[in-house]
A and B are shown apart, each in its own frame.
Chain A
Amino acid sequence: MNALLQVENMTLSIAEKILCQKLNFMVYPGETWGILGPNGCGKTTLLHTIAGFRKFTGNIKLFAKNLDTIPKRELAKTVGISLQETHDVFPQTVFELCTLGRYPHLNFFSYESEIDKKIILQALTAMELIELRDQKIQTLSGGERRRLTLATLLTQAPQLYLLDEPTNHLDIHYQIKILHHFKNLAESTSISVMMSLHDINLAAQFCDHILMIFKQGDYLAGPTSMILNPSNLSRLYQHPMSMIGKHFVPTFEKEVNS
């Protein structure tokens, strides 16, 4: 089977500062990857680079094609990203905003078809926004906006979903529901998901692969069972971690010497 995403010798840097060097990993269709790391380690930068927003050194290949040779519109059919923050200036309805996800699939002259509308409605249903479809986005809560961003991404229907902290602003119920949705989507339609997460237990539950980016500039990538253990996590967050049953738990003392 061909790798969906292949990252070779990539250097992550932001404003001349190198975050992580010689990054190498491959993502196959159907896999769900969790990206873990402390604040400022480059999780968002990595996702933005794969989405094609940033210049980079090394190679990124999507279905064996170099990222920088793929036209933007084609790229949008292959890779989609949900951003950590969105700033909506104009008063659109939930439905209108979700419609934008279909943009890369429309021809120059075509209007959204019945099929497009069906896809939009399915995405809104999946994110439990269907009742709010005619509301202005300015009236939505933080969690509802997050789900709308994800619904728009579902409407875009790429092969590789990049989710930057998808569980932000969501209550426990929706965190689990939404991660279930993406994991099922990955398994049933052989798309891939890469998401940055802060909740280790959600990563343990929903991700079959983990990428850890350490503050020191090295990284670990591989199947969850091999990577996710208290010693790696303690090193990752510079904070002692232990396991209680199936769950990872941090030490709650104020000052700790790691």
Chain B
Amino acid sequence: MHYFSKYTRISKHNLMIKTKFNMLIGLLILAMISIFFSIAKGSTSISFSQLIEAISRSQNSIIYQIIVELRIPRTLSAFVTGGLLAMSGVIMQILLRNPLADPYILGISGGAACASLLCLFFGLAGYWLTGAAWLGSLCVMAIILALSQKYHSWDSEKILLTGVALTSGFSAFISFILMISSDRELHSMLFWLLGDLSYAHKPYIESVILFIAVLLGLSLAKQLNVLARGNREAESLGIQLSSLHKKLYLLCSLLTATAVALAGCIGFIGLIVPHVLRLIGGYDHRWLIPSSVLLGGSLLTIADTFSRFLFAPQQLPVGMIMAFLGIPVFLWLLNSGSR
């Protein structure tokens, strides 16, 4: 009897792993649906048969042009940005051991915003903007890394406060730029600050970065599980703390920098996706990392689709739509599960 009850318990755990696997498949399907939806919907609607026809046959048709030149790069940008931010959020929350942490909490986006807004102020756009965002985030990354080296060990609280202080400094500077800018620049600056995919170029490098980051994240997943318990606890289980902290910091700040350079400051995704996934599927990072990329990517793709066709031809900043759609769902999830 005793043995039997043990046996059923073990199979229950196997069931859990299977459920997680099924959820991953579910998220994959969600991702595919959202991508199809995003390609098909917009100022011009395209039906499924038109889509197939356009891709397979008429290379010169206008629908082919819309799909290949506009919709696919844009959809890919949305998906990659969402994935980057969600995964960055998962890691940042563990690294700072703070459930309120999001990819922007250390001021990486603030640095990028200052540099990008300066670019817009001087009338530069396109690759200048991307380059400036990268430069801004890398500078902040370097500052925080240098400061963290000065502390005796990785002190989450001190680093968090450093980040918060930097962020407020940046937001003061952002306000200053907004004050002295003309109306025409102001519009594009606001779009940048709210997060906007309309100037996103073809995100091939970013896709590769995301793919490599997922592999790196998966290789660190078990260590992330242990680190979530606390620094001392992790160390006593055989984690080399200082090197893990550095790896995670570099990984999640590069993810954030890539996302911000691609699409500006899209809020909410990096904070909420990790929590939603923890609520529905537990906290094992071997599952959480791929799931966060799929869910983050899908959500942002859907939000971007809405932002394009809700008030077409007028486009809305995707970050705004994201918050409108996501916050009610999240609050509902948070309160429905008193588990």
Q: Nearest-CB distance from A50 to chain B (Å)?
A: 11
**Is there a chain A Cβ closer than 8 Å to B166's Cβ?**
no
With A96-B284, A103-B225, A121-B6 known to touch, is A87 a contact of B238 (CB < 8 Å)? Answer: no
Quick one: which of B1-43 are within 8 Å of A by CB? Answer: 6, 9-10, 13
A81 close to B236 (CB less than 8 A): yes
**Nearest CB in chain A to that of B99: its residue:** A89
A86 close to B233 (CB less than 8 A): yes
Complexed CA–CA distance, A89 and B278 (Å): 12
Q: Which of A80, A90, A101 contacts B228 (CB 8 A)?
A: A90
**Is there a chain B Cβ closer than 8 Å to A104's Cβ?**
yes
A103 close to B233 (CB less than 8 A): no
Q: Which of A92, A111, A114, A156 contacts B283 (CB 8 A)?
A: A92
**Nearest CB in chain A to that of B228: its residue:** A90
A100 close to B99 (CB less than 8 A): no
- Which residues of A lie under 8 Å from residue B219 when comparing CB positions? 108
A88 close to B235 (CB less than 8 A): no
B282 close to A92 (CB less than 8 A): yes
- Which residues of B lie under 8 Å from residue A53 when comparing CB positions? 232, 235-236
Q: Nearest-CB distance from B189 to chain A (Å)?
A: 36
A91 close to B278 (CB less than 8 A): yes
Quick one: which of A240-254 are within 8 Å of B by CB? Answer: none
A89 close to B228 (CB less than 8 A): yes
- Which residues of A lie under 8 Å from residue B286 when comparing CB positions? 111
**Nearest CB in chain A to that of B239: its residue:** A72
Complexed CA–CA distance, A108 and B226 (Å): 14
Which among B97, B235, B236 has the highest number of chain A CB atoms within 10 Å?
Answer: B236
B222 close to A76 (CB less than 8 A): no
- Which residues of B lie under 8 Å from residue A76 when comparing CB positions? 236-238
- Which residues of A lie under 8 Å from residue B284 when comparing CB positions? 96
- Which residues of A lie under 8 Å from residue B237 when comparing CB positions? 76, 100-101, 103-104, 156
**CB within 8 Å of A: which residues of B?**
6, 9-10, 13, 93, 97-99, 219, 222-223, 225-226, 228-230, 232-233, 235-240, 278, 282-284, 286, 339
16 A-B contact pairs sorted by A residue (CB < 8 Å): A72-B238, A72-B239, A73-B238, A76-B238, A83-B236, A86-B229, A88-B230, A89-B98, A91-B278, A93-B282, A100-B225, A103-B225, A103-B238, A111-B286, A118-B6, A121-B9
